[in-house]
Amino acid sequence: MVNSMSQQSATIELTQDLIRRRSVTPEDCGCQQVMIDRLAAIGFHIEKLRFADVDNFWAVRGTQGPTLCFAGHTDVVPTGPEENWQLPPFEAEIKDGYLFGRGAADMKGSLAAMVVAVERFVAENPDHSGQIAFLITSDEEGVATDGTVKVVEWLKERNNLPEWCLVGEPSSTAKCGDIIKNGRRGSLGCTLSVKGLQGHVAYPHLADNPVHRAAPALAELAAEEWDQGNAFFPATSFQISNINGGTGATNVIPGELEVIFNFRFSTELTEQQLIERTETILDKHGLEYKANWNLSGLPFLTAEGDLVSATVASITEVTGLEPELSTAGGTSDGRFIAPHGVQVIELGPVNATIHKIDENISVDDLNTLTDIYQTLLTKLLA
């Protein structure tokens, strides 16, 4: 697909406009209104959805047939020390073919690419089949309680869930389009409090050291083989992220130990199986403990089907690449959508700089991504 320079620059200009709005989570700073104005101008019906302090919107064009929904977020993570950036994080400057700015890759570039792709597609196919939809939130990078999850509940109540969902997360590794995420691992976290008895280090027989008690159990948890994964998922992993205990003094045995750990798990296990196996190990070591569990998301997988096939074909047609299907990486808002039977894939730009100082995206990749999105729309809805 060959585009004129003016068409190509439309994605860059929109990305710059969005980056220049300091939408640090959960703020939106007018990003959604920019998108809404563009979509309304080409016939989308818009419904703004504000839950608590979070701005969301649902936009749809068409009245019947299968729906391809683009899910994305306008919020970004904090910049870190702005003086450490080689270019200011909210000025969206281009240097050596790369557009710099917080959110350039995660995910304002994807938002702009899809808006422009839809504008082009509608211009060429004003009477397209099916429906095109946007589900946009400003609550993805934060606690994610009043964003996509609430909009999905709203859609379910209306019996209006889409058949296909494209999430614009930065999925690519080396080249735009080399990786499609067709699933994600589940995330199960735990804050573990182990009780002991505080005392003087010189009189250990008068105290009960929770660090000593917990260490063998933690070692066993770290060494445990939870599963072997499967054709789509790597083996489940257990990682300790924080350990806290003690008063700060060198001569005091602590009275309590806090350990924070996380499972990234495959479809081979359920969260309940992980909880039961973990607590069995803790019980075996005779610990007095309290475990507060938090399920951030279930694993999901979109097998080969209409959406995956059309996405693979679109990438190959535009770039010549043969993309790899992957379930690696962290969680995304796809975890709120897929459990309802929606086919979900993630496709976006290269993720090498996301959340980092000097986040940036290749200008060429932004234009390529726009072409891929437009080709996908054509394959599914033209």
Q: Both tokens of residue 36?
A: 């809404």
| DSSP notation for 197-227 | B-EETT-GGGSB-HHHHHHHHHHHHHH----
Q: Both tokens of residue 18?
A: 């969005």
Phi, psi dihedrals of residue 107, rounded to the nearest 5°: -140, 40
Nearest-5° Cα angle at 374, 370 to 380? 145
Rounded Cα distance between 199 and 208, Å, is 8
**DSSP 8-state assignment for residue 338:** G
Q: Which entry of 27, 28, 55, 75 is annotated as an active-site residue?
A: 75
Q: What is the CB neighbour count within 10 angstroms for residue 352?
A: 14
Active site residue 37: no
Q: Indicate the residue type of 356.
A: K
User: Alpha helix locations (H) across 195-324?
Assistant: 210-223, 271-284, 306-319
Order of all β-strands in the sheet with 360-362: 94-95, 98-100, 360-362
Residue with tokens 């080709």: 375
Across the chain, the runs of DSSP E, i.e. the strands, are: 45-51, 54-61, 67-73, 94-95, 98-100, 131-137, 164-167, 179-181, 183-184, 186-195, 199-200, 237-245, 252-253, 256-265, 289-297, 300-301, 324-326, 343-346, 360-362
Q: Which entry of 106, 140, 146, 169 is annotated as an active-site residue?
A: 140
Distances in Å between the alpha carbon of 160 and those of 23, 65, 67, 132, 136? Answer: 29, 11, 9, 13, 16
Active site residue 75: yes
Catalytic residues: 75, 140
